[in-house]
């Protein structure tokens, strides 16, 4: 059975803050920091936005593009995030209700640092491929946390993308997926703690680079391909620097990763990062395009995907929802005071 | 803690603008009504579910400076009455908008946002707000 | 049905009564009205209390019994009933009392209206006010009471039926009269500039477009017209007390720049009284916001749509002006707006005008007077017409 992407939708909040503004507050050369991380600005969620609203918006855009799909035919919804608004009570049920997919379906929230969204795609592929469900929805979304003054504060942002996985009218066939997973504590957040901690430079070589390159190489081996066989590639992007370097190490060109690299303009959307990068590629994709995808989640693991865009994308009603270029077109810049208020960093009276 | 059922039972309207329509006179109600005030007894048993259009235009608006607790982080914030594309008038907040560029007739669409929450540990209430159409 | 007379009125000063409790202000107004009517407590055989939200404001329900008890009426076990109709609570309580006397069921009835608002903080008070709109689909969606009225004003300006200045001028009119009323919360005249330069509440409405938060109470005594002279030489006839309803939510109406309930209640009241809007010499209207005052003048038939603002801006509605004298008490804006008391206080003001007891704000030769009170965004309206005897 051919399993793949039937539709997708992406959403990023409208507000932005620049690294120089964050640096101004903490006595850091934010501009240099941003340059080093290759982050020009990051998205900031409005006070009334969270993973539920971001995931819902992405899912609604996804459904708007396939009016022929009855939401009642969706058999599973997984929302991957590390900032679910409830510790207990799923985001997925609220999203499911919002796209009128309830009640004959299964749902769950996933967490695997920044790769819970791609883990959801894998889960849906299994359910669709086995014939257990007709359609599955996988969403990666976050309103990620960075402790005030920490390096993460320059990148942690908000956004998400949703994927309708099925076997009919597939616009992008997923040829294969595989993963590389180990116990590597490079980044974590304990239950009840507001901010994550990380292992500093340990997050680089033994964590991000080892897992991304291992999964990518496993995929190239498994498919018997080389980087030049792909039109587009997207790698997890905690900043602009890591994916650019890992692409180069693996032999991908800057042209191949250009559409999928959003972090310089929106920051690190965590679970939303690779799903958003892939959405941006699909916004530009033509029939026959081959796409190489590798996510990364701290803790740690990478999911790789080999995807081929099908002829069905020509008849796909993409313009029934806004493409990322349009969504990102008219940002509103906020200063650190507004940012702190929006992110509820200011203690208010009861 | 406030009742969760009170909000829960309004989910269809709050999330998806689901109202009702009188099968007798065709009048659309949002929020939903199980009893048609026009047809009264003649409408009983003929009320059907109706999904209101999620796009429309601003009929009138205000920018609220004296904000309730729920919106203290967003003030000033805009509120509007919106005439949906199927002709229904609805009140909702207007967010992600440049406050000095709101106009009567402006195109908007409904999105899901947080409306309020029952304190830091209680239930979060989600519902529609409007944003400018992209 | 019997004709009904108002034989006595009493009000407390309106304002921030930090040292007085709800029960204290309620009793003060009632005692004044009874003294004015020349009756004693044992003459009274019924009591109606207009109160919007003591349950929220002072955490006390069952306030009719509270007032009956503290005014000594419970020793006679008279029936005491509390009425809630949002901002129109006092006016609707009055109408209940009117019906009780007109029907012959009761003979001498005391109407009270009272609200003690300042025991809550401003944000909580506003949240209580918001509940007179649709709590689920307006307040619950982030609309505030001021915001709803602001949207009416915005639409009027857009439609060209009032300018921002015309709307603001209603507050100037109310303050002009408030300066003449010793019981008013604000006894200071203002200019248009005061309104237009005050802080924004909900654009385009500003602080001076909004009635204040107030404590206060008002009371009137009713009896059959034929018995009035037994108690006093100075009384007025209640020619009509009408009431009408509309949708709870503003967005459920086709026209938001007119309150259909006010129009309906007014038309019935004029018909009952055998007069037209032109016969009214003095009127108290529900200017909870300036825009509500402008709308009321049109809905009551004093002016055509689009004309009221011009007239008020021109000063025509001031005492001695060329049109009907409006809100000689200072209105909700300047006299104050202790919600449940307001409707009763409006009627008390008209009664004083028709008795020739309005002192510096007296309208010469006033024969017919009218009080209009609304609740929510016009979801309930009460219109009372009185005639000098």
Per DSSP, A167 falls in state: S
State how far residue C154 is from chain B, nearest Cα, in angstroms.
6
Q: Is the pLDDT of residue C105 over 80?
A: yes
- The answer to the question of residue B4 being in a domain is no
For residues C325 and C177, what is the distance between their CA atoms, to the nearest angstrom?
Answer: 10
- CB of A341 within 8 Å of any CB in chain B? yes
Given a cut of 90, whether residue A178 has pLDDT beyond it is yes
Nearest residue of B to residue A329, measured between CA atoms: B134
- Check pLDDT > 70 for residue A223: yes
Distance from CA of C118 to the nearest CA of B (A): 17
Query: With 70 as the cut, is the pLDDT of residue A333 above it?
Result: yes
Q: Which residue of chain A is at minimal alpha-carbon distance from B126?
A: A53
Q: Is residue B125 part of a domain?
A: yes
CA distance C323 to C311: 8
Q: Is B119 exposed, middle or buried (0-12, 13-18, 19+ CB in 10 A)?
A: exposed
DSSP classification of residue C224 = E
Residue C255 in this model has a pLDDT that exceeds 80: yes
pLDDT digits (tens, 9 = 90+) for A258-305: 999 999 999 999 999 999 999 999 999 999 999 999 999 999 999 999
Provide the domain limits for residue B70: 53-132
| Same structural domain, A274 and A328 | no
Let me know: does A329 contact A283? Beta carbons within 8 Å: no
What is the per-residue pLDDT for A118?
Answer: 98
Same fold, C4-121+214-236 and C124-213+238-388: yes
Rounded CA separation C234/C386 (Å): 13
- For residues A329 and A272, membership in a common domain is answered with no
Q: For position A95, which CATH number holds?
A: 3.40.47.10
Query: B-C interface: how many C-beta pairs under 8 angstroms?
Result: 95
- Answer for the pair C193, C320: CB distance below 8 angstroms, yes or no: no
Do A272 and A322 fall within a single domain?
no
Residues of B in contact with C200 (CB under 8 A): 63, 65, 76
Contact B92 C136 (CB under 8 A): no
Six-digit token string for A299: 């803790």
Taking residues C16-26, report their average pLDDT: 96
Given a cut of 90, whether residue C275 has pLDDT beyond it is: yes
Give me the pLDDT at residue A350, please: 73
A332 vs B contacts (CB less than 8 Å): 96, 98
* C-beta atoms of A48 and B113 within 8 A: yes
Judge if A67 and A17 occupy the same domain: yes
Looking at the domain assignment, is residue B39 inside a domain? no
Determine the residue of chain A that is closest to B17 in CA distance: A98
What confidence score (pLDDT) does residue B3 get?
A: 79
- Number of domain units in chain B: 1
Evaluate if residue B1 carries a pLDDT over 60. no
Q: To probe the interface with B, which of A10, A45, A48 has the most B CB atoms within 10 Å? A: A48
The helix/strand/coil state of C375 is strand
Question: With pLDDT > 70 as the criterion, what percentage of chain C qualifies?
Answer: 100
- Which residues in chain C have their CB less than 8 angstroms from residue B80's CB? 151
* pLDDT, position C125: 94
Which distant-in-sequence residues (6+ apart) come within 8 Å of A190 by Cβ? none
Q: Is residue A347 part of a domain?
A: no
Per-residue model confidence (pLDDT) at position B24: 95
**Mean pLDDT (whole number) for B35-54:** 94
Q: Is residue B123 part of a domain?
A: yes
- pLDDT mean across residues, chain A: 97
**A141 located within any domain:** yes
DSSP character string of A14-65: SEEE-HHHHHHHHTS-HHHHHHHHT-S-EEE--TT--HHHHHHHHHHHHHHT
B16 lies within 8 A of chain A by CB: yes
Q: Is C8 exposed, middle or buried (0-12, 13-18, 19+ CB in 10 A)?
A: buried
**Number of domains chain A is built from:** 2
C201 contacts in chain B (CB < 8 Å): 64-66
Residue B8 burial (10 A CB sphere; 0-12, 13-18, 19+)? exposed
CB-hemisphere CA count at 13 Å for A174?
29
Residue A185 falls within a domain, yes or no?
Answer: yes
Distance between CA atoms of residues B95 and A53, nearest Å: 13
- The phi, psi pair for C306, rounded to 5°, reads 95, -5
CB-closest option in B11, B74, B124 to A85: B124
The mean pLDDT value for C269-288 works out to 98
| A88 in contact with chain B, both atoms CB, cutoff 8 A | no
Q: Compute the nearest-CA separation of B71 from chain C (Å).
A: 8
What residues contact C22, with CB distance under 8 A and at least 6 apart?
A: C54, C57, C58, C60, C63, C66, C114, C115, C116
Q: Which residues of B touch C147 (CB under 8 A)?
A: 62, 64, 79
Any CB–CB contact under 8 A between B75 and chain A?
no
Which residues of chain B have a Cβ shorter than 8 Å from any chain C Cβ? 10, 13, 31, 59-71, 76-77, 79-81, 89-93, 104, 115-116, 127-129
Distance, CA of C193 to CA of C202 (rounded, Å) = 18
User: What CA–CA distance (Å, rounded) separates B103 from B85?
Assistant: 17
- Give mean pLDDT, residues C201-219: 98
Residue C380: its H or E element: strand C380-388
Chains that touch C (3 or more CB pairs under 8 A): B
Q: Which of B15, B95, B113 sits opposite A97 (nearest CB)?
A: B15
Residue B74: its chain A contacts at CB < 8 A?
A: 46-48
* Partners of A301 in beta bridges: A181, A297
* Under 8 Å between Cβ of C274 and C318: no
Per-residue pLDDT for A164 more than 70? yes
Residue A103, preceding bond cis, omega within 30 degrees?
Answer: yes
Picking from B60, B69, B127, the nearest residue to C151 by CB comes out as B60
Among B8, B66, B92, which would you mutate to test the C interface (most chain C Cβ atoms within 10 Å of its Cβ)?
Answer: B66
Q: Which residues contact A164 (CB under 8 A, 6 or more apart)?
A: A5, A6, A7, A8, A62, A63, A66, A69, A74, A135, A136, A137
User: How much is the mean pLDDT over chain C?
Assistant: 97
For the purposes of burial, counting CB atoms within 10 Å of the CB of A224, is it exposed (0-12), middle (13-18) or buried (19 or more)? exposed
Closest chain B CA to residue C155: B60
Residues A136 and A205 in one domain: no
Say yes or no: A153 and A276 in one domain: no
Q: What is the CATH number of domain C124-213+238-388?
A: 3.40.47.10
Asked if C237 and C249 count as a contact pair (C-beta separation under 8 A), the reply is no
Q: Residue C136: list chain B partners with CB under 8 A.
A: 10, 31
Residue B2 is predicted with a pLDDT of: 64
Q: How far apart are CA C181 and CA A243, in angstroms?
A: 75
Residue A83 lies in a domain: yes
Q: Is residue A32 in a domain?
A: yes
Average confidence score pLDDT of chain B: 95
Look at the block and give the residue holding tokens 């796009």: B55
Binned at pLDDT 50, 70 and 90, residue A1 comes out as: confident
**Which chains have 3 or more CB–CB distances shorter than 8 Å to chain A?**
B
- CATH superfamily, region C4-121+214-236: Thiolase/Chalcone synthase (3.40.47.10)
SS3 C126: helix
Q: How many angstroms away from the CA of A283 is the closest CA of chain B? A: 16
Q: Let me know if residue B122 belongs to a domain.
A: yes
* Cβ density class C245-274: b for 16+ within 10 Å, e for less: bbbbbbbbbeebbbbbbbbbbbbbbbeebe
Residue A45 confidence (pLDDT) above 80: yes
pLDDT for C71-100, tens place per residue?
A: 988 899 999 999 999 999 999 999 999 999
Which one of C142, C158, C202 has the shortest CB-CB distance to B65?
Answer: C202
Asked whether A308 and A290 are in contact (CB, 8 A), the reply is yes
Query: Which tokens belong to B34?
Result: 């199980």
Query: Going by C-beta distance under 8 Å and a sequence separation of 6 or more, which residues neighbour residue C327?
Result: C173, C174, C177, C283, C284, C285, C287, C293, C317, C333, C334, C335
d(CA C55, CA C120): 12
Measured CA distances, A144 to A48, A141, A189, A272, A273 (Å): 15, 9, 11, 10, 11
Q: Is C346 exposed, middle or buried (0-12, 13-18, 19+ CB in 10 A)?
A: buried
pLDDT at A30: 95
Q: Quote the DSSP letter at residue C183.
A: T
Nearest CA to CA, how far is B88 from chain C (Å)? Answer: 9
Alpha helices, DSSP H only, in chain B? 4-8, 11-16
Do A23 and A83 belong to one domain?
A: yes
pLDDT at C253 over 70: yes
- On whether any CB of chain A is under 8 Å from the CB of B112, the answer is yes
**Residue B22 and residue B42: Cα distance in Å, rounded?**
10
CA dihedral (B25, B27, B32, B38) positive or negative: negative
Query: What is the Cα–Cα distance from A309 to A232, expressed in whole angstroms?
Result: 11
Residue B37 forms part of a structural domain: no
Nearest C-alpha in C relative to B117 = C140
- Mean pLDDT, residues B84-110: 97
> What average pLDDT does the segment A160-186 reach?
98
- For tokens 């009119």, the residue is C173
C contacts of B77 (beta carbons < 8 Å): 142
8-state DSSP, C12: P
Taking contacts as CB-CB distances below 8 angstroms, the residues of chain A near B16 are 97-98, 100
Per residue in C125-140, pLDDT tens? 999 999 999 999 999 9
What's the count of helices (H) and strands (E) in chain B, helices before strands?
2, 8
Helix (H, G, I), strand (E, B) or coil at C69: helix
Distances (CA, A) of C188 to C283, C309, C318, C321: 21, 22, 15, 19
| Beta-sheet pairing, A42-44 with A15-17 | antiparallel
The distance of A86 to chain B (nearest Cα, Å) reads 9
Question: Is A162 in the same domain as A177?
Answer: no
Query: Is residue B92 included in any domain, yes or no?
Result: yes
Rounded to 10 deg, the angle between the C122-130 and C145-159 helix axes is 60
Show residues of chain B in contact with C253, CB under 8 Å: 89
- Tell me, yes or no, if A167 comes closer than 8 A to chain B by beta carbon: no
Q: Is B74 on the interface with A (CB under 8 A)?
A: yes
Q: Which structural domain, as residue segments, surrounds residue A24?
A: 4-171+318-342
pLDDT at A247: 98
Q: What is the Cα–Cα distance from A295 to C207, expressed in whole angstroms?
A: 54
Label residue B53 by pLDDT band (50, 70, 90).
very high
Cβ separation C151–B80 shorter than 8 A? yes
Q: Is B4 on the interface with A (CB under 8 A)?
A: no
**Which amino acids of A are annotated catalytic?**
82, 114, 236
Residue C370 — φ and ψ, nearest 5°? -140, 145
For chain C, the structural domain boundaries read 4-121+214-236, 124-213+238-388
- CA C169 to CA A147: how far, in whole Å? 52
């Amino acid at each position: 059975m051919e399993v793949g992407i039937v539709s997708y939708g992406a959403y990023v909040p409208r507000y932005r803050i620049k690294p120089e503004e964050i640096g101004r507050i903490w006595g850091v050369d934010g501009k240099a920091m941003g340059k080093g991380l290759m982050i020009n600005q990051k998205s900031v969620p409005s006070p009334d936005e969270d993973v539920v609203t971001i995931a819902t918006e992405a899912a609604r855009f996804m459904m708007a593009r396939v009016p022929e799909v009855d939401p009642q035919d969706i058999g599973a919804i997984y929302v991957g995030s590390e900032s679910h608004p409830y510790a207990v009570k799923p985001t997925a049920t609220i999203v499911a209700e919002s796209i009128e997919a309830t009640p004959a379906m299964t749902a769950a929230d996933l967490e695997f640092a920044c790769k819970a969204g791609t883990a959801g795609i894998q889960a849906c592929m299994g359910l669709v491929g086995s014939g257990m469900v007709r359609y599955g929805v996988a969403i990666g979304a976050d309103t990620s946390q960075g402790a005030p003054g920490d390096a993460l504060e320059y990148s942690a942002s908000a956004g998400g993308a949703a994927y309708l996985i099925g076997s009919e009218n597939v616009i992008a066939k997923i040829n294969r997926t595989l993963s590389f997973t180990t116990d590597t504590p490079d980044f974590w957040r304990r239950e009840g703690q507001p901010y994550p901690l990380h292992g500093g430079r340990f997050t680089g070589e033994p964590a991000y680079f080892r897992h991304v390159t291992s999964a990518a190489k496993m995929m190239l081996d498994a498919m018997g391909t080389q980087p030049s066989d792909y039109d587009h590639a997207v790698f997890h992007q905690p900043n602009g620097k890591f994916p650019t370097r890992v692409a180069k190490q693996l032999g991908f060109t800057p042209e191949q990763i250009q559409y999928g690299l959003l972090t310089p303009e929106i920051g690190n959307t965590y679970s939303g990062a690779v799903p958003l990068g892939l959405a941006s590629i699909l916004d530009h994709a033509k029939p026959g395009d081959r796409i190489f995808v590798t996510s990364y989640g701290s803790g740690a693991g990478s999911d790789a995907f080999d995807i081929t865009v099908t002829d069905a994308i020509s008849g796909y009603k993409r313009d029934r929802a806004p493409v990322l270029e349009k969504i990102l077109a008219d940002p509103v810049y906020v200063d650190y005071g507004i940012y702190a208020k929006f992110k509820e960093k200011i203690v208010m009276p009861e | 803690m406030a009742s969760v059922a009170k909000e829960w039972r309004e989910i269809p309207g709050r999330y998806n603008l689901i109202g009702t329509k009188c099968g007798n006179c065709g009048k659309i109600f949002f929020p939903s009504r199980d009893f048609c005030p026009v047809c009264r007894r003649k409408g009983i048993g003929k009320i059907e579910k109706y999904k209101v259009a999620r796009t429309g235009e601003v009929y009138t608006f205000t920018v609220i400076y004296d904000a309730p607790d729920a919106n203290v982080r967003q003030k000033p914030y805009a509120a509007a009455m919106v005439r949906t594309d199927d002709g229904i008038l609805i009140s909702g907040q207007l967010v992600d908008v440049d406050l000095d560029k709101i106009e009567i007739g402006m195109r908007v669409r409904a999105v899901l946002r947080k409306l309020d929450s029952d304190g830091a540990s209680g239930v979060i209430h989600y519902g529609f707000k409007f944003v400018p159409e992209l | 049905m019997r004709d009904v007379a108002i034989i006595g009125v009493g009000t407390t000063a309106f304002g921030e009564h930090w040292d007085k409790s709800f029960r204290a202000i309620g009793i003060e107004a009632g005692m004044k009205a009874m003294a004015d009517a020349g009756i004693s407590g044992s003459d009274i055989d019924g009591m109606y209390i207009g109160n919007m939200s003591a349950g929220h404001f002072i955490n006390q329900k069952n306030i009719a019994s509270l007032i009956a008890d503290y005014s000594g009426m419970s020793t006679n076990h008279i029936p005491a009933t509390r009425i809630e109709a949002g901002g129109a609570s006092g006016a609707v309580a009055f109408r209940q009392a009117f019906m009780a006397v007109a029907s012959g069921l009761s003979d001498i009835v005391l109407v009270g209206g009272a609200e003690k608002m300042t025991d809550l903080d401003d944000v909580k008070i506003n949240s209580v006010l918001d509940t007179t709109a649709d709590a689920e689909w307006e307040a619950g969606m982030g609309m505030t009471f001021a915001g709803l009225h602001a949207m009416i004003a915005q639409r009027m300006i857009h439609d060209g039926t009032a300018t921002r200045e015309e709307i603001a001028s209603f507050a100037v009119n109310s303050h002009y009269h408030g300066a003449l009323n010793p019981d008013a919360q604000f006894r200071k005249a203002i200019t248009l500039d005061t309104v237009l330069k005050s802080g924004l509440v909900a654009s385009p409405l500003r602080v001076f477009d909004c009635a204040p938060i107030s404590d206060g109470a008002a009371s009137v005594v009713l009896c059959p017209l034929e018995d009035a002279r037994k108690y006093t030489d100075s009384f007025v006839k209640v020619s009509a007390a009408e009431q009408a309803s509309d949708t709870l939510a503003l967005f459920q109406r086709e026209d938001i720049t007119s309150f259909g309930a006010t129009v309906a209640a007014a038309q019935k009241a004029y018909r009952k009284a055998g007069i037209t809007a032109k016969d009214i010499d003095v009127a108290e209207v529900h200017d909870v916001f300036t825009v509500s005052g402008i709308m009321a003048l049109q809905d009551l038939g004093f002016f055509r749509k689009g004309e009221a603002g011009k007239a008020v801006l021109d000063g025509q509605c001031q005492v001695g002006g060329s049109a009907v004298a409006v809100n000689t008490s200072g209105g909700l804006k300047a006299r104050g707006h202790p919600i449940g008391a307001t409707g009763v206080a409006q009627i008390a003001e008209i009664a004083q005008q028709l008795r020739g007891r309005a002192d510096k704000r007296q309208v010469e030769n006033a024969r017919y007077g009218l009080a209009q009170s609304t609740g929510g965004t016009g979801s309930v309206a009460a219109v009372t017409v009185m005639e000098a005897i």
